[in-house]
Amino acid sequence: MKIVFLEPLGLKTNIIEAACADLKKQGHEVVVYPDRNENLNELIRRAQDADIVIESNIPLRKDFLDACPNLKMLSIAFTGLDHIDMEECKRRGIVVKNAAGYSTEAVAELAIAMMIDVYRKVLENDRITRECQRKGILPGRELGGKTVGIIGMGNIGQRVAKLLNAFGCKVLAWNRTPRTVEGVTFVDKETLLKESDIVTLHIALNNATRDFITEKELGMMKPSAILINTARGPVVNEQALADALKSGIIAGAATDVYGTEPPLKQDNPLFDAPNLVMLPHIGFATEEAFELRLGIGVENAECGMRYAEF
């Protein structure tokens, strides 16, 4: 079979080649493209005769699938699958596997870093330092002892809870289905929003969670509270968040995700919002996570062939 890596997954090609050594020994052809290119015509050129395609979060829709008649499997080195035309894949019998769990540690650690960044005003104090000021230092707050509400208690939410427990935080949580997690008190959504000093989001994006945080939910939070979003952008209504920060309804926020992937349009309402840390969707982006997702992606391809899923 022909296995095509549409992109290098953030790694050097020699690392990918080494991970595919067994596949090559089995007689499979492995092609690794050394750059990321989202142009449809180029994607089709790369994958048009592939049996298996491995990639991360490049959108693959019906027009791509139409041009790849041999395609039997998509091994997605990413957690979410909202960039894949799943209905069309199902109709064609194309197996789709994701890399669930590869970025659990990376995203959890970034969520904690964002909490500390907002509390200690790291970016603002960096600016003050570079401007050679001293009297303008901005005092911050400590994470220890705060009440943190986690919305969504999957693998990432649970890892965040463990890290917060180490900081000495009181951890509240809301989850769609009941769970029992050591060191965590489960409450309803309204209680979590009203009692938390920090609210951090770790839920998947679906019809039920789109606009999960709007003007109504932000209005329930403490004026001193902050919101952290490393989940999916549309979970939070961006205009409502910008308005809440401008009017002081909440004290601050940090987001790594948006309604559309960066680069953002200049008219995004968050650009004008104060006390907001904006990151370019880097939650998954660590060397360790990249290597882990490569391993999962290759393993998915191997399993698919081994058990003749296609």
For 10-21, the pLDDT digits (tens) are 999 999 999 999
**116 plus 33 within the same structural domain:** no
Report which of 175, 226, 219 is spatially closest to residue 200, judged by C-alpha positions: 226
Q: What is the CATH number of the domain that holds 63?
A: 3.40.50.720
pLDDT at 163: 98
**115 plus 244 within the same structural domain:** yes
**DSSP of 260-293, one letter per residue?**
SPSSPPTT-GGGG-SSEEE--S-TT--HHHHHHH
**33 plus 108 within the same structural domain:** no
Task: Determine the distance from the C-alpha atom of residue 150 to the mean position of all C-alpha atoms in its chain, rounded to a whole number.
Answer: 15
Assessment of whether the complete model's pTM goes beyond 0.85 = yes
- The residue whose two tokens read 């960096």 is 126
Structure tokens at 216: 């109504």
**80 plus 162 within the same structural domain:** no
Contact criterion met (CB below 8 Å) for 276 and 244: no
pLDDT at 55: 98
Task: Determine the distance from the C-alpha atom of residue 50 to the mean position of all C-alpha atoms in its chain, rounded to a whole number.
Answer: 28
pLDDT at 310: 60
pLDDT at 261: 86
For β-strands 198-201 and 170-174, DSSP reports them as: unpaired
**163 plus 87 within the same structural domain:** no
Contact criterion met (CB below 8 Å) for 83 and 59: yes
Structural domain of residue 292, as residue ranges?
2-102+287-306
pLDDT at 218: 98
CB within 8 A of 290, min separation 6: which ones?
A: 9, 10, 11
**155 plus 198 within the same structural domain:** yes
Catalytic sites, residue numbers: 232, 261, 281
**231 plus 154 within the same structural domain:** yes
Report which of 233, 235, 223, 239 is spatially closest to residue 272, judged by C-alpha positions: 239
Compute the half-sphere exposure of residue 200: CA atoms within 13 Å on the CB side of its CA. Answer: 32
Count of domains observed in the chain = 2
Q: In what order do the strands lie in the sheet with 2-5?
A: 29-32, 2-5, 52-55, 73-76, 95-97
- Spans of the chain below 50 pLDDT: none
pLDDT at 309: 60
**236 plus 261 within the same structural domain:** yes
Report which of 77, 62, 61 is spatially closest to residue 3, judged by C-alpha positions: 77
